[in-house]
Structure 1
Amino acid sequence: MIETTADLAEACKTLAQSDYITIDTEFLRETTFWPQLCLIQMASPDLAVIVDPMAKGIDLAPFFALMADDTVVKVFHAARQDIEIIYNLGGLIPSPIFDTQVAAMVCGFGDSVSYDQLVQKVKNVHIDKSSRFTDWSHRPLSEKQLDYALADVTHLRDVYQHLKAELEREGRSLWLTEEMAILEARETYDMHPDDAWQRLKMRVRKPIELAVLQTVAAWREREARARNVPRGRILKDDAIYEIAQQQPRDAEALGRLRTIPKGWERSTAGGQVIEAVNLAFDIPKSDLPKLPRQNHVPDGAASAVEMLKVLLKLTAEQEGVAAKIIANSEDLERIAVDGEEATVSALSGWRRDLFGEKALKLIRGEVALRFVDKRIEAVEL
C-alpha cells in the first residue's frame, strides 16, 4: 500500500497521464456521521494502486488534485458515496465522472445492477465476496483483503471500456452526460441542516406540524454533525414524528411521549428539543411553512397509471434501458393527471424522446396497447 505523501504524489502523476482512471473507496460509517475513509483504490490501463489514507503523516492533496484534473475521466461504480467522501474531505467534486451503474442501466443491464453482477456479465469473472464485510480500518490488512479491494478497480477498467463502447454504438453517450450532471452538482452532497427534514417520510397535516418537524430535524442534523455520530444516535426518526404531532413545549409533555426514553426529557438534549419546538411556535402564523403538495390521483386515473406502467415496461424492453432510469411511479401519476403540464424528468431530454411522447399520446388516445401473439405492443391510431 501507498503510505507516504511522496509515493502518493508519484502515483497520481503517473495516473494523470491516462485518459481515464477507475476509483473506489472503502470506508466505515456505522458509528459516525461522517464516513471514515479507510482505503482508496485507483487504476489506469497501466497501473493499479492502493492508498492508505490512515497512514501516519500522509497528505491526500495529490489525490484531490487528481480528482480535480478535468483531462482525466474518473470512473466509479455507484459513485454517490465515494464522491460524498471526496467532497467532505477535499471540498471538491471529481469531474468529469462516469458511473458504470448508471451507464449499465442506460445499456439495459437492469435496475441498480451490482458491481459483481456487472463484472460477471461483461467479463464472465466471478468475484470472491467473502471480504465484503471487512473492517477496513484494521491494520494490517491481509493479502486476500487487498486483492479484493484492488479487484474493485481492475475489473472496472474492462467494464468501463465495454459500456463506453456500447453507449457510443447506440448513440446514448449524451444520455449519460445528462445523468452525470446530477452527480457532479454540489447540492447533491451539501445539504443544509435546515433542509434535513426532507429526508423524513412523515406526512404532516398542519403547517405547525411541519414547522416543528423542520426545527427538530435541523437541531438533530447539527448535533449529529458536531458530535460525529449517526442521526439515530441523537434522536430516532419515530421520535421526531411523534414530537411533530404532539408538539411538547415543556419537559413534562416531552417525557409523556412513548418514543422518548425515560428521563431523557431532563437531559441537555431534551431541553434543546423543547427549545426547537418552541422556536417553531414563535413563527408567525402567516410565515409558517406551506405543506408540501401531496400527489393525489383522482378517481379513475389509477387505471391510466397502470396503462402507463405497461407502456414503460414495453419501452424499456424494446429499447434495452432499465425502466427505473426512464420514469418512476410518481412520474407516471403526474403524467396521468397533468399530461403535458407534468413537471417530471420523464418529459424532458432523452427520456421524452424515448418514452414521454408515447406516454402523452397514450393518455390522449393516440396510441393503443394491444395483445398480439402472447406479447403486448403499442400501436399508433
Structure 2
Amino acid sequence: MIETTAALEEACVKLAKSDFVTVDTEFIRESTFWPELCLIQMASPDLEVLVDPLAKGLDLKPFFALMADPSVVKVFHAARQDLEIVYHLGNMLPAPLFDTQVAAMVCGFGDSISYDQLVSRLTGAHIDKSSRFTDWRARPLDDKQLSYALADVTHLRDVYLKLKEELEREGRTDWVEEEMAILETPETYDLPPEKAWTRLKLRIKKPLDFAVMQKVAEWRENEARDRDVPRRRVLKDDAIYEIAQQHPTEPEALAKLRMIPKGWERSQSAAGLMEAVKMALAIPKADLPRLPRQPQLPEGAAAASELLKVLLKIVAEQNQVAARVIASSEDLDKIASDGENADVEAMRGWRRKLYGEPALQLLNGEVALRFVERKVEMISV
C-alpha cells in the first residue's frame, strides 16, 4: 500500500512508461455530498499499485499528473463516478480515456454489463464480490479487501486488450472515441446549482410553482455543497414539491407542511429556504420560467416511432451493438417527426450509416419489415 508522496511519484513514473493504465477507486458517499476517496487502484502490464489517499501527508499530485499524461490511455469500467471524484479533487479529467463498459456495449455485450460479468465472459476468471460493500475508510484494510480491490484493475488489463482488439478488427474504434468525448467534458460532472431542478421529476403545472421549485432546488444544491452532506439530508425531493405548491415565506406556514421536520422551521437553514421562496415570488409574471413541455408528435409520427423501435432492435442485433448506444427513444421520436432534419446523434457519424439511413428508408417506404421464421427482418421494397 502506497502511503507517501515519494512512493506514489515513483510508482506513477513507472506506470507512465506503459501505453495504458487501468484505474479504479473505492469511495464512500452515503454521508457526504462529494464522494470520499478511500482507495486508488492502478495497474500497467508489469506493475500493480494500491494507493491510500487517506494516508497523512500524502499528496495526490503525481496521480493527477499521470491522469493528465496524453501518452497513456486511462482505462476504467463504468467510469462516470470515478471521473467525478478525480474532477472534484484534481480539477481535471483523465485523458485519453477508455471505458470498458461503453466498449462492451459497442461490441455486443448488452446495455450495461457489470465488471465481473465482463471479466467472466472475456477471461473466464471469477471475481469474489463479497468485499464490495465494505467500509473502505477503515484502517488497516485486510488482505481480502486488498485482493478484491486489486482484482478490479488486474483483470481489467485483459478485458481492455481483448475489447481493443475486437474494436480494431470490426473497425469500431472511433465509435468508442465519440462516447469518450462526453466523459471527458467537465460539464458532465459539474451541473450548475441553478440547473439543479433538472434532477427532479417535473410534477409542477404552474409557472409560479415552477419558479419556486427552481429557486428551492438551487438553494438546496448550494446548501448541500457548503455543508458537504447529501441533498436529501438538507431537504427531501418530496418537500421541494410541497414547498413549490404552498409557497411558505414565514416559519408558521413552513411548519404546517407535512414533509418538514418538527421545529426545523426556526433553523438558519429554513430562513435560507424561505428567502429562496421569496425570490421566486418576486419574479414579474412576464418573466416567470416556462414549463418544459414534451413535444407533441405530429399525426402518424407515434406509429412511425414504434416501427423505428423495431428497426432499432433489428439493427442492434445484426451488428451486435447495444441499442441504447445507437439511439434513444427521444431520437426515434424526432426522426419520426422530422425525418432527414432530425437533430439527433442517431443521424450523425457512424450511427447514421448504421441506423439513420435505414430509418429514413423505412419512413420513405423504401424498405419494409416482415415477420418470417419467428423473427422480424428488413427487406427492400
State if a TM-score over 0.5 links the two structures. Answer: yes
**CA separation in 2, counterparts of 1:356 and 1:239?**
43
3-state SS of paired residue (2:286)? helix
3-state SS of paired residue (2:71)? coil
Is residue 2:357 matched to residue 1:380?
no
**CA separation in 2, counterparts of 1:112 and 1:295?**
29
Is residue 2:43 matched to residue 1:14?
no
**CA separation in 2, counterparts of 1:327 and 1:240?**
33
Q: How does 1:137-176 map to 2 (within 5 A)?
A: 137-176=137-176
**CA separation in 2, counterparts of 1:243 and 1:162?**
53
Alpha-carbon offset, residue 299 of structure 1: 5.7
Alpha-carbon offset, residue 354 of structure 1: 0.9
**CA separation in 2, counterparts of 1:256 and 1:338?**
49
3-state SS of paired residue (1:112)? coil
Contact 2:203/2:241, CA 8 A, preserved across alignment? no
**CA separation in 2, counterparts of 1:338 and 1:120?**
43
Alpha-carbon offset, residue 298 of structure 1: 4.9
Q: 1:343 to 1:207 in 2, by over 3 A?
A: farther
**CA separation in 1, counterparts of 2:366 and 2:204?**
39
**CA separation in 2, counterparts of 1:354 and 1:244?**
45
Alpha-carbon offset, residue 248 of structure 1: 2.2
**CA separation in 2, counterparts of 1:298 and 1:366?**
21
Find the counterpart in structure 2 of residue 323 from structure 1.
323
Contact 2:41/2:50, CA 8 A, preserved across alignment? yes
Q: 1:57 to 1:210 in 2, by over 3 A?
A: same
Q: How does 1:1-381 map to 2 (within 5 A)?
A: 1-298=1-298, 300-381=300-381
Q: 1:347 to 1:46 in 2, by over 3 A?
A: same
Among all aligned residue pairs of Structure 1 and Structure 2, give the percentage whose two residues are the same amino acid: 68
Moved more, 370-379 or 5-14: 370-379
**CA separation in 2, counterparts of 1:65 and 1:18?**
14
**CA separation in 1, counterparts of 2:334 and 2:262?**
45
**CA separation in 2, counterparts of 1:360 and 1:88?**
43
Q: 1:49 to 1:302 in 2, by over 3 A?
A: same
Letter of the 1:169 counterpart: R
Cα offsets for 1:223-255 (capped at 9, x unmatched): 001111000000001111121222223223222
**CA separation in 1, counterparts of 2:32 and 2:187?**
22
**CA separation in 2, counterparts of 1:344 and 1:128?**
41
3-state SS of paired residue (1:23)? strand
**CA separation in 1, counterparts of 2:343 and 2:254?**
41
**CA separation in 1, counterparts of 2:192 and 2:89?**
17
Q: Which runs of 5+ in 1 are unaligned?
A: none
Moved over 3 A (4+): 297-302
Q: 1:319 to 1:255 in 2, by over 3 A?
A: same
Letter of the 1:127 counterpart: I
3-state SS of paired residue (2:238)? helix
Alpha-carbon offset, residue 286 of structure 1: 2.5
**CA separation in 2, counterparts of 1:349 and 1:208?**
42
Alpha-carbon offset, residue 346 of structure 1: 1.5
**Residue-pair matches, total:** 381
Letter of the 1:319 counterpart: N
**CA separation in 2, counterparts of 1:358 and 1:252?**
61
Contact 2:95/2:184, CA 8 A, preserved across alignment? yes
**CA separation in 2, counterparts of 1:27 and 1:77?**
15
Q: 1:253 to 1:297 in 2, by over 3 A?
A: farther
Q: 1:238 to 1:298 in 2, by over 3 A?
A: farther
3-state SS of paired residue (1:379)? strand
Alpha-carbon offset, residue 125 of structure 1: 0.9
Query: What is the RMSD computed on CA atoms of the aligned residues?
Result: 1.3
Q: Which runs of 5+ in 2 are unaligned?
A: none
Relative to the length of structure 1, the TM-score reads 0.97
**CA separation in 2, counterparts of 1:225 and 1:295?**
34
Letter of the 1:281 counterpart: L
**CA separation in 1, counterparts of 2:264 and 2:231?**
16
3-state SS of paired residue (2:379)? strand
Cα offsets for 1:129-176 (capped at 9, x unmatched): 111111111011111110100000000000000000111111111111
Q: 1:366 to 1:209 in 2, by over 3 A?
A: farther
Alpha-carbon offset, residue 189 of structure 1: 1.1
**CA separation in 2, counterparts of 1:132 and 1:299?**
50
Letter of the 1:129 counterpart: K
**CA separation in 1, counterparts of 2:182 and 2:203?**
27
Letter of the 1:372 counterpart: V
Letter of the 1:114 counterpart: S
3-state SS of paired residue (2:369)? strand
Alpha-carbon offset, residue 274 of structure 1: 1.2
**CA separation in 2, counterparts of 1:226 and 1:279?**
20
